[in-house]
Structure 1
Amino acid sequence: MLIKEISLELFADYFQFYIQDESVSGDLTEAWTDIAVERLLALNHGVIGVGTVRNMDVLTTFRIYDEEPDILAESISIHQINECDFIMESENMVVAGCTDYFPDAHRVKIGKGLFRARIYYKDLDKISDDGLEGEDSYEIHLWPISKKLGLKILKNRNI
């Protein structure tokens, strides 16, 4: 069941935004490998870096569930789907662009524990030639899990 839904416009500076446990540093310096850039996802303890196709403001929707939701129906607008584990040691998840001022970043109380994140990357092909305008959007579903499941790429935009 859906518990909470939040829609934000985030500044995806350096083609990324973060979802992180409020208590961690959020350092993804080493995590943004060539493979991570290709899959639009970098991971570290308590932080998820979501890659974007523009480094402008992007529409982002977060949906928090009490159990695994159905996967969104296959659509030509969904170009990539990634899943990964997300560890929360504090109560608050921080959602921010990588250059946002952390104390002012948006916070969502989701509680402590192990979560699964499913990230949908939509309309990645609807970008202006100069890369400044676009209809790309990102939707993240989170729900609690009892054991780690690792990284899974459910749909790859390059296949």
Structure 2
Amino acid sequence: MKEFNLELFADYYQFYIQDEKSESNLVDSWTDFAVDNMIAINDGIVGIGTVRNMDVAVTLRILESENTDNDFKKYDKVNECDLVVSSGIIVIAGCTDYFPDALRIPLENGIYRVRICYGNLDSLNENGLEGDDFYMVSMWKCQTRKELQIVKKEI
């Protein structure tokens, strides 16, 4: 397993994980459904919604095999989707970060399942700028594509 602990500027309440060479964007992907579920997807890109537009704690884990930890009690929300990697590199960044400076991670080409666990979403202060929200992203290579899955919805 490889793990990256990051602070990303979630401008416009989002950050991205994408194939480095993806030419897709999420302009039309942030539908009402996507906003409500805090996830937008397009070819080669995943947009992860946040509860504030400040620096947020993000942990990215690249796993050797499927994540079988299904104990989601400590999370408010859990989503899963696919990301196809075709360039051998993924990029993780805030949506207004300077793309050439964003973190790049080499990965074998293929289909990856991406599980996003959202925690402490209700911890924001009155002005919505400070909080203990966090975002745990796990990725593992898989053989077949699956649809977006809303695994756990906020209560």
Q: TM-score range by the shorter chain?
A: over 0.9
Q: CA deviation at 1:142?
A: 0.2
Q: Identify the residue that residue 115 of structure 2 maps to in structure 1.
A: 118
Q: CA deviation at 1:69?
A: 1.5
Q: Tell me the amino acid that sits aligned with residue 127 of structure 1.
A: L
Which of 54, 57, 64 pairs up with 1:56? 54
1:1-80 matches, cutoff 5 A: 3-75=1-73, 77-80=74-77
Q: Tell me the amino acid that sits aligned with residue 86 of structure 2.
A: E
Contact persistence 2:15–2:95 (CA under 8 A): yes
Percent sequence identity over aligned pairs: 47
TM-score by length of 1: 0.94
RMSD between aligned residues: 1.0
Contact persistence 1:41–1:48 (CA under 8 A): yes
Q: Tell me the amino acid that sits aligned with residue 20 of structure 1.
A: Q
Contact persistence 2:72–2:78 (CA under 8 A): no
Q: Tell me the amino acid that sits aligned with residue 121 of structure 2.
A: L
Q: Identify the residue that residue 134 of structure 1 maps to in structure 2.
A: 131
TM-score by length of 2: 0.97
- Determine the C-alpha separation between the residues in 2 that align with 1:36 and 1:63: 23
Q: Tell me the amino acid that sits aligned with residue 43 of structure 1.
A: I
Contact persistence 2:82–2:147 (CA under 8 A): yes
Describe the SS at the equivalent of 1:78: coil
Is structure 2 residue 120 aligned with structure 1 residue 88? no
- Determine the C-alpha separation between the residues in 2 that align with 1:98 and 1:72: 29
Contact persistence 2:57–2:133 (CA under 8 A): yes
